[in-house]
């Protein structure tokens, strides 16, 4: 059985006091579903979030990292540094990193390797732009993003990979992929894993959907057989909304 996961990507939101306030509410929230819950604050609040959530069953993830172990990379943070404060999961390949920070598939392949070398779990994001979908090219784009960054991995490494399909046109726009569009893409991704690896690997890899997931649409999206959870942006900044989504399974 693959793990259901709901992860909140806080992006560049919440200073320390806002983080404290949100963590306090998250700790008090009641989980009625069997999904794993993950939150990804900014680097400056990671240590604090990890400490605050130590006794809860909410995991803490980073939103990015560098591929090098250490060295002259001003402003960057390594997998080892994240590991040293207890953070075991990292989001890589978010479309905002690809679009605004020129992250390429080749760079992401190096970051994935660096994270796995430190025994971290990777939430790997990918997804097509509106023009790709309008041209009917979404499957080709998604397949190449996944192949280029992940298909050098051995089967045994995939237990540390969580996939997150995030169509760029649905992020922060209020426009969600329909549950059918999400299901179709997730089934396609699983078939890619089946063809390139094995049935077992395809069946055991969690594939999350991200893009304007809200309390009122989560249940329908999560009801689809190949959707194993969500990567939530805006709605994860509100504890009530976030847990309504967590409990939508
Ligand atoms: P929104 O939920 O705000 O659309 O963001 C989705 C996202 O980018 C999560 O990584």
The one catalytic residue among 94, 96, 103, 128: 94
d(CA 94, ligand 1 centre) in Å? 10
Q: Is 127 in the pocket of ligand 1 (CB under 6 A)?
A: no
Is 152 one of the annotated active-site residues of the chain?
no
Q: Is 211 in the pocket of ligand 1 (CB under 6 A)?
A: yes
Q: Is 171 in the pocket of ligand 1 (CB under 6 A)?
A: yes
Entry pTM: 0.98
Rounded-to-integer distance, Cα 44 and Cα 3, Å: 29
What mean pLDDT is predicted for residues 201-216?
A: 97
Q: What is the pLDDT of residue 99?
A: 97
40 phi and psi, to 5 degrees?
-125, 90
Q: How far is CA 40 from CA 14, 45, 49, in A?
A: 11, 9, 9
The per-residue pLDDT for range 159-205, each reduced to its tens digit, is: 999 999 999 999 888 888 899 999 999 999 999 999 999 999 999 99
The protein residue whose alpha carbon is closest to atom 9 in ligand 1 is 233
Rounded-to-integer distance, Cα 77 and Cα 218, Å: 33
Is 166 one of the annotated active-site residues of the chain?
yes
- Dihedral angle, C-alpha 160, 165, 171, 175, nearest 10 °: -150
């Amino acid at each position: 059985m693959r793990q259901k996961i709901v992860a909140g990507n806080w992006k560049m939101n919440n200073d320390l006091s806002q983080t404290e306030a949100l963590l306090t509410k998250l700790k008090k929230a009641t989980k009625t579903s069997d999904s794993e819950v993950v939150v990804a604050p900014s680097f400056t609040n990671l240590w604090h979030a990890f400490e605050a959530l130590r006794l809860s069953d909410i995991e803490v993830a980073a939103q990015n990292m560098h591929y090098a172990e250490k060295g002259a990379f001003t402003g960057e943070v390594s997998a080892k540094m994240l590991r040293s404060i207890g953070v075991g999961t990292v989001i890589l390949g978010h479309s905002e990193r690809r679009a605004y920070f020129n992250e390429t598939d080749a760079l992401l392949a190096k970051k994935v390797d660096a994270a796995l070398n430190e025994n971290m779990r990777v939430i790997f994001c990918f997804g097509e732009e509106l023009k790709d979908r309008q041209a009917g090219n979404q499957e080709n784009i998604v397949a190449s993003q996944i192949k280029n960054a992940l298909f050098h991995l051995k089967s045994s490494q995939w237990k540390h990979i969580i996939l997150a399909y995030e169509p760029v046109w649905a992020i922060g726009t209020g426009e969600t992929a329909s549950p059918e569009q999400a299901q179709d893409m997730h089934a396609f991704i699983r078939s890619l894993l089946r063809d390139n690896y094995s049935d077992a690997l395809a069946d055991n890899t969690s594939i999350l959907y991200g893009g304007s997931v809200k309390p009122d649409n989560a249940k329908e999206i999560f009801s689809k057989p190949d959707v194993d959870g969500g990567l939530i942006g805006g709605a994860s900044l509100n504890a009530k909304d976030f847990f309504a989504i967590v409990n939508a399974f």
